[in-house]
Structure formats: structure tokens, C-alpha cells
A and B are shown apart, each in its own frame.
Chain A
Amino acid sequence: MPERNDEPPRGARGFWSGTISFGLVSVPVSLFTATRTSGPSLRMIDPDGTPLRRVYFCSSEQVPLEADDIVRGYEIEKERFVLIEDEELEAIAPEKSQEIALERFVDVDAIDPIYFERAYFLAPGRGGARPYRLLAEVMERCGRAGIATFVMRGKEYLVAIISERGLLRAETLRFHDELRRPKDVGLPALEEPDDGRVKKMKRALEKLEADTLDREALRDSRAARLEALVERKLASGSGVISAPEDAEPSERESAEIIDLMQVLKQSLAERGSRGEKRSNGEKPPSAEKPRSAEKKRPKKAAKAPRAARRSDARREDDLAAAPKSELYERAKRLDIPGRSGMSKEQLIDAIRSAS
């Protein structure tokens, strides 16, 4: 499925927080996407080399819009819309918007891979580390996946929860009626093939037999060509503009992965909370609130500059969970000198002491 393009610009991509339940056991979890964009992305600039921002505009007033000015609409007749709020979409399926109820487990190998759509990693939420580990351990030992349906961002998903190396993963599956059968496509009934021809093809195929996948083949060749081209241009110095103020490096989008590491680390640190023995006498560090942090964060700082400004109100604890681009934005607003050369940690320190 393509990325949905009717998503309002708020909340991080692929993000969901709720509860996994099996029997009467509840595990609070957050989902983080396990797929990312391959290779570096290019930045849009104006003819003078100023990096540009993508901004939402109202098509009739031509004014820039903030995330809160934007709402989903369903066109019931030409240019007549029904407005639908996020809360309404959640409220029509209150349980499924909150809970992945594992009422059935199946053999992991019994799921035909054509159903698999997209993978997310699960991190335990507050107090959830122990039931999370219990579920992960048992599912991995028995080779079972848990099956459920749930609602995320205005769509219902069939999902398989799979355990691997102590980590739980949610694989969204296509619903049966989202997959076409050959007859839906109209493929013709096949004739009995000619034996001689089948044999010839088999001989040609045998020459290509291999036992393991050539990982080189899975490399993104466009990214490699892009990197080579950039190297050549840097060496010759043609078309190179040196460091304008607000350029962000063309790294792949890894903010969510950094977030996941952060949440996992914090869920370990707070494993003492509620009903569990604390291994030391220390208080658990203030628990992260991934959902609220994510909600405050615009999808991309570049898409909703004013919304990003509002996030100045973000609690200090949330700084560590913010992507570097947002920290850089904040450092810029606080006019912190030397910000462009700072690491993420240095930015956090500088913002803390400046605000």
C-alpha cells in the first residue's frame, strides 16, 4: 500500500500507542515502523541555494496553514464535504483503537507471506516491561504468532504479533478481500504446456540455482549512483554551496529508530514500577510519554513551522526523544551559537541551559 496521502500533518508516521492483551493480561505498547526510506533524500532549494520548506496552503485564501487548521473531509457531492475529526474516527471503534486483543494464536509458518504488508516494532509502555517479556518469551518458544484486528490512523488492520530475539513485532496483514484472486484479474485458464518446452526452461533455470540470496542484489543502486555523483561534484567543487544556515543533512530518516531505542532504554530503566521488585533502591526516572511527545511533534518540522514553535513548551524530559532536526530548529530560535556543528547531545545540553 502506498503511504496514505490524506493524513493530516500531525503525529509521527506509523505511530500508535495502546494495549496488547492476551487473556486478562494487558501490556501497554507503542508501535514504531520497522521500514525506512532507502538512501539519502534530496533537499529542495531555491535558485540561490536557500533550503525550502513544504507548507500547506488554503486553496481559496492562499494563506499558510498550521496543523490545527487542517481537517479531514469526505466529499459527498461536488465541493460539499463532511468534516471528520480524528476523535470521531477513534470513537466509532473505541476498543479497537486502543487494544490489540490476541484472541487467537497460530503457527508463525502458517501465515502465507502474500498477506504481509508492513512491519512495526513494539516497545513496552509504562509498567509493561515484564508482561511484554513474558509474552515475547512464550511466543518465541512455542513458535506462535498472535492474530488480531485493530484500528490505527483511521483504518482497520489485520495484524500478526511475532516474537523474535525477545522483541515483539507487529506485521500488518492484508485482509482477504484486499487480495485479488487470479480470476478477479481475469487471467485465462492455462493450457497444458508442451513437455519439450518445459524441459528447456527447466534446464535454463537450473543454471541459476543458488542456495542463498545474494545480498548485493538488494542494494539500492540509485542511492549508490547518487553518492558517486555527489563525490565527483564535491571533488571538482562545481555546484557546491557551503553550509547555509538551515540545511539538514541528507541522511536517511532514522528518527523513529532513535526514538525506539530511547523508549526501549527507558522501559528497562523503569522496570521497577508497580508490582515489580526494584533491583536497586532508586526511583524510576520520569517515565517517557511517547504518545503525547509524538502528538506535539509535527510530522516534519519543515511541514508545519508554526506547530514546531509551539513545541517549545515541550517538557525537558521530551528533548531526548525529539529528532535532531527539531532540536536544531529550537537551537536556532534560541540563537545558540555554533549549533550547526553540534551533536544531538550537545544540542540538548545547550537548549537546557539556554531555556
Chain B
Amino acid sequence: MARAMWKGVIRFGDQRVPVKLYAATEDRTVRFRLLHRKDQAPVTQAMVNPNDDRVVAYEDVRRAYVTSDRDLVVLDDDELASLEPEASRDIEILQLLPPAAIDHRWYQRPYYLGPDGSDAGYAAFARALADSGREALVRWVMRKKEYLGALRLEAGYLMLMSLRYADEVVSAEELDAPSGPKLNDKELDMARQLVEMLTDEFDPEQYSDQYRARVEELIETKARGGTVRRKPPARRPATADLTAALEASLKQERKRA
């Protein structure tokens, strides 16, 4: 049984459902330390006054907001504390929305919610949410931080997806797409054929991280004092003759099929 990260209560109307929160992801990346190359001592960070290069002790560091006129507004500890949300155990349901109303680009990190104590309320809520065919927009405060989330079902259990704030996501509308002369119809048609030939089901289980194992091998080889290749790979230039490349690609795919 995984350890719960947090305990809370889902609230809506006069209903309350006590839950425990668990991480739904596992970080499997190989982790490194940052070292000083010369003596292999770990690297630390410190705040330095750039005028005299003196280190300022952490307890003497203050925080300030810098205005567009570059004036500093110094904030003391009480003022910083006043910015924190009020502590609470509530996971408040704000809205019950159709499935696609919360764009997946706001999704940040998934958590599972499991029952806390009796699972009767949890099971009833999971059923009610499943029958609605909707996703709940929720708000909660965890470790002095306010979160928004999408509450949904995953394999019959409650999954809480934390969300990014609206202004954390850069939308395509803010950017101009590359433009240029009209694309060639024949090339468009060949590219479409190629995409269709390569189209299949999405099968996430088909993909795995092969690189991690190679990083582990690299570490072992170097630990034994072995040498490894360091040649940087060559870059491929852009395709200049699109028609020819598309024709050859289609031919190749047809042969493979």
C-alpha cells in the first residue's frame, strides 16, 4: 500500500466524502548530482551581493517585488504569510462540466483519491460521478498552496488532476504560425497518403523508456574505468526536394505494406 500524501474531504452541497490522496506517477529518471569538476565536491547554491561578491546568509535575505519602474517593494514575513491561502481540508467542487470542457493542456499532474475510513461514501460518489458522465472542477489547499483540479474517474477510482493556471499556458492564438506561398496540391496529397499509411491505434504500452537502461550502462562502464563514445551525432538538413522525398517515402511504405 502506497503512503498517502495528504488527507482531505470532498465537499458539495451537504455531502462530504473523506479521501486520501496518492501520487499517480512514478519518476523513473536516473538522477545526478551537480559537482565541481575539479575536485568532484557537490555544488551548493548561495545568494551573493553582486557589488562586493559577499555571500548573504539565508536569514538576512529579504524578498521584494520589483515594479516596472524598477522600484523595490520590500515584503516582510507577515506580509508574505498573508498571501498564503487559508489552511483547509476541503476539496470543494466548483462546477460539474462536460468531459472536454477542461482542456488537457491545463492538466498538470495526476493523483489518485482513495477512501479514508469507510469506503461506502467513496463508492457512492464514484458511482454518481460516473453516471453523470462529467468531470468536476475542484479547488483545494495543500501544503500552503491553492490548487485547482479536474476530478474524474480512472478504472472506477477517483483521479484528481491538478491544473495549471490560465496564464501558465501559452495558447496558439498568441503566436503567428509560419506562413508562405500556397502549398503544392500534389505534395499535400502525397503527404496525406503517407500520414494515412502510417496511421494506427494509439497503444501506449508499446512504448518504453529504453534510454534509461543505456544511461545505467554508461554509468557502469565509466565506473569500471571504461571509455565511451563522445562523438556528437550529425545533423540532418531540411528536405529540399519535397516532391521527390514524398514520392520515395510512399514507394517505401507501399513496399513495406
Q: Are A185 and B22 in contact (CB under 8 A)?
A: yes
| Distance (whole angstroms) from the CB of B149 to the closest CB of chain A | 11
A12 neighbours in B (Cβ, 8 Å): none
In angstroms, Cα B245 to Cα A81, docked, is 47
Q: Is A180 an interface residue (CB 8 A)?
A: yes
Q: Are A229 and B75 in contact (CB under 8 A)?
A: yes
Q: Which residues in chain B, 29-58, are within 8 Å of chain A measured between CB atoms? A: 29-51, 53, 55-56
Chain B interface mostly helix, strand, loop or mixed?
Answer: mixed
Q: Is A340 an interface residue (CB 8 A)?
A: yes
Closest partner residue, chain B, to A91 (CB atom): B229
B94 neighbours in A (Cβ, 8 Å): 208, 214, 217
Q: Are A6 and B199 in contact (CB under 8 A)?
A: no
State which of A6, A134, A219 has its C-beta within 8 Å of the C-beta of B183: A134
In angstroms, Cα B180 to Cα A128, docked, is 12
Chain A interface mostly helix, strand, loop or mixed?
Answer: mixed
State which of A21, A58, A74, A229 has its C-beta within 8 Å of the C-beta of B39: A58
Q: Is B255 an interface residue (CB 8 A)?
A: no
Closest partner residue, chain B, to A155 (CB atom): B29
Contact A92:B74 (CB < 8 A) given known A178-B28, A268-B179:
no
Q: Are A23 and B253 in contact (CB under 8 A)?
A: yes
Which size class do B's interface residues fall under?
35 or more
In angstroms, Cα B26 to Cα A305, docked, is 36
B50 neighbours in A (Cβ, 8 Å): 50-53, 246, 305
Q: Are B175 and A208 in contact (CB under 8 A)?
A: no
Contact A4:B218 (CB < 8 A) given known A106-B199, A121-B175:
no
State which of B24, B37, B176, B202 has its C-beta within 8 Å of the C-beta of A111: B202
Closest partner residue, chain A, to B57 (CB atom): A46
Closest partner residue, chain A, to B231 (CB atom): A91
Closest partner residue, chain A, to B205 (CB atom): A176
State which of A61, A74, A179, A210 has its C-beta within 8 Å of the C-beta of B110: A179
Closest partner residue, chain A, to B115 (CB atom): A188
In angstroms, Cα B15 to Cα A208, docked, is 13
A132 neighbours in B (Cβ, 8 Å): 178
Q: Are A27 and B238 in contact (CB under 8 A)?
A: yes
B25 neighbours in A (Cβ, 8 Å): 1, 174, 178-180
B67 neighbours in A (Cβ, 8 Å): 230, 234, 249-250
4 smallest CB-CB distances across A and B, nearest first, come from A23-B249, A166-B177, A204-B13, A186-B1
22 A-B pairs in the complex with CB atoms less than 8 angstroms apart: A52-B61, A53-B50, A58-B39, A59-B36, A70-B34, A70-B36, A81-B40, A88-B222, A88-B229, A92-B211, A112-B204, A166-B179, A187-B114, A202-B131, A211-B98, A213-B101, A214-B137, A217-B94, A218-B148, A240-B73, A241-B71, A279-B181
